[in-house]
Structure 1
């Protein structure tokens, strides 16, 4: 048995020695940009590039199809690409996809710019989002696409802040194109005139490096290319590379959920009503705790999104008026005014043409209807309370009945609600007689015989 085991071991070693050595597969992380570029996308891309660099990946591939997005998020992604220790290739796919607005900036900033047939790039004109700044002030909003505007047509009209935003975007995209040795004149036209190109036209005008049918074709065309990464030149060897799609982690998914303007608005409403119910019923704890958490999360989402401060002011005013209706019923004037102010504020709070960063009309209608329902419920309770019989306080004593405890002449004492009161009356009452209170003066009751 020992000899048999030894022979098996020797045979296995012999087979291993005869086998051809297999190179380990090199994984290329694939990061996805689908839809508008926002805070969650920036967090996902920057973390993916950083992790790939720390893991020593040979390349990072960003597969992109975006209509544009927020300026701050775009710049955060570009900083991660420019400072990456490894090459970053951005691939606009699938066919029918686009790299518009912020996507054009990201594509031009990448070490390798590639597109699939049937895609397009461009339309990168910035448009101020939110309330316009004062003349001479720095732009405070974010950027979005709006081809056909005065700025897109190269007009010099507009406020100083708009001209600053346009010139800043032109200088930024030219610097990115020049850094990568790409067509800086077309990059300027993409911002100034909202120019766009198809994949083949972009390749012919030296805007991109590769037109690839799919990811495998892209890796094949990348093989042997020399890429400038920082001060070093890296020669790509894509032989044996394996693409591995990187899924967003739970933090990125949570950030994507709460930075949805519809979710942010709903969270703020839950927070406001939770605190309102807690103030109306101190000690319940549940409404106050849940409301405070939702309100803080909603405010965090607003801090990460471009907002119009006039819209936020109207929302705050609407909440204040609805709360005033609950505490000081005005039979609908304050409550309905609050609903109108809240609806107008929610409508203009996110001023953008990008669907992912607009409040959906059904959500806005549902929130407005819920607020109006709460106001009408408050009005109904207020009217009902005015018609109801008083059950406590001085007013409740008038009309109450009790029995005489002792009586002498026109005054004595009566027992009402378990209490002994001093009383007067125009008749001579006897002990135990049933009487009714007709008036109260200080701590003295005026009585009459009960029916």
Structure 2
């Protein structure tokens, strides 16, 4: 009951913190609104970008500058971002920034859809080939499913390039050949609009774009950057929390740790923390899993791993069920994300990480659990003769009766001699659940 109240309290605290929203910025005149899209594109991060676009329109900013540094991410939210860009009443500049940044996969789609596209020095775009995770390990994804997804993504990226007057052929190769190019190549092939020499920094880029004409919703518009101040978009507390939870790596690790700690807690009921923390992590992991497309086979394998761990608790298999459970958890977590617009490199790193965490933590907790169960399965020493001669410590004053601690256990003790708290005692007889003791005296030669 106490565990349930504590858990409910923690969940309510988290829920309460999540609903807090940042106060909107006051309106500014002659402003460029800057939105940063950095890291994996999760649903929460994408919704923050969309919120920023709408807010920039509310304050009547001169233009919106979206800074891109992402390996890709969730397909659905990418489409929503591009919808918001296409329907915006303001000119939007998409800019791969800072130096050494990238806008791979989903990031490339967003870059191409800007009214003006630019790249800082030493940046990269492309690598948009959809990633296909087999539903069942060892069984290839059906060719029809691959072709449908590839056809959709090719048409999508070509439409974006065509609508902005950019190179459709190179855009298509981003998918068909998994092509990746740098800023010089992008400018040469007509994928971006600004010479990289004019986009080495944000001030330099904005200065080069002043009074540039673009079409915004089929309406000729001039980008006004002269003397404009920069107003940076702030991600809200809600979006920050959801961005962490919606990351497939974080959600997978939360699920794994949650399951392992709950099982460990069931196996060691004398401890409150494992079950409490495990249940909380499970809730967070399940919530996060709802923020991206999940592979149903991965979910089944994770559930199977949890069941095998529970079987290990009640079946003396010397760790066999537990080891298979660890493997099942690791495979399930590695297969969990089902997003075509993430790069194969990101997916490889993700899989190595979650498999490492699952195996490392799983084997450690399995070892600890087996040791606890082995200790519990040992027959306790309860015979009268086995207790005689053992030494212990008086934890109360003993006047006829008191308490002693012996081998980590507390016993009721009797003595014909007065014994003070802290003195060492020796068992001379056992009477039911009580021990008869005397002060221990070292023998002298």
Same fold per superposition (TM over 0.5):
yes
1:164: how far off? 1.0
Check the 8 A contact 2:32/2:225 in 1, yes or no. no
Aligned partner of 1:34 in structure 2 is 38
Q: 2:126 aligns with which of 122, 140, 147?
A: 122
Q: 1:327 aligns with which of 283, 306, 314?
A: 314
Which moved further from structure 2: 264-273 or 159-168? 264-273
Aligned partner of 2:149 in structure 1 is 165
Q: Is the counterpart of residue 78 in structure 1 residue 62 in structure 2? A: no
Residues 1:296 and 1:167: Cα distance change in structure 2 (over 3 Å): same
Q: 1:174 aligns with which of 142, 158, 178?
A: 158
Aligned partner of 1:217 in structure 2 is 204
Work out the CA distance in 1 between the residues paired with 2:228 and 2:136.
49
1:147-174 CA-partner distances (Å, limit 9, x unpaired)? xxxxxxxxxxx71111111111111011
Residues 1:41 and 1:229: Cα distance change in structure 2 (over 3 Å): same
What SS does the corresponding residue of 1:210 show, helix, strand or coil? coil
Q: How many residues align?
A: 352
Q: Is the counterpart of residue 106 in structure 1 residue 93 in structure 2? A: no
Check the 8 A contact 2:71/2:346 in 1, yes or no. no
1:216-261 CA-partner distances (Å, limit 9, x unpaired)? 2222222222222224332222222112332322222212222333
Gaps of 5+ in 2: 1-27, 384-431, 433-445
Residues 1:371 and 1:36: Cα distance change in structure 2 (over 3 Å): closer
1:290: how far off? 4.4
1:176: how far off? 0.9
1:357: how far off? 8.2
Residues 1:344 and 1:186: Cα distance change in structure 2 (over 3 Å): closer
Aligned partner of 1:195 in structure 2 is 179
Check the 8 A contact 2:173/2:179 in 1, yes or no. yes
Higher relative contact order (CA 8 A, sep 6+): 2
Aligned partner of 2:64 in structure 1 is 60
Work out the CA distance in 2 between the residues paired with 1:74 and 1:349.
20
Aligned partner of 2:379 in structure 1 is 388
RMSD, aligned CA: 3.5
TM-score, structure 2 normalization? 0.68
Counterparts of 1:358-373 in structure 2, within 5 Å, are 358-359=349-350, 361=352, 364-373=355-364
Work out the CA distance in 1 between the residues paired with 2:335 and 2:347.
15
1:286: how far off? 6.6
Check the 8 A contact 2:136/2:297 in 1, yes or no. no
Larger Rg: 1
1:320: how far off? 0.7
Counterparts of 1:17-416 in structure 2, within 5 Å, are 26-129=30-133, 131=135, 159-211=143-195, 212-213=198-199, 214-273=201-260, 275-276=262-263, 290-350=277-337, 353-355=344-346, 358-359=349-350, 361=352, 364-389=355-380
TM-score, structure 1 normalization? 0.68
Work out the CA distance in 2 between the residues paired with 1:121 and 1:379.
50
1:90: how far off? 0.4
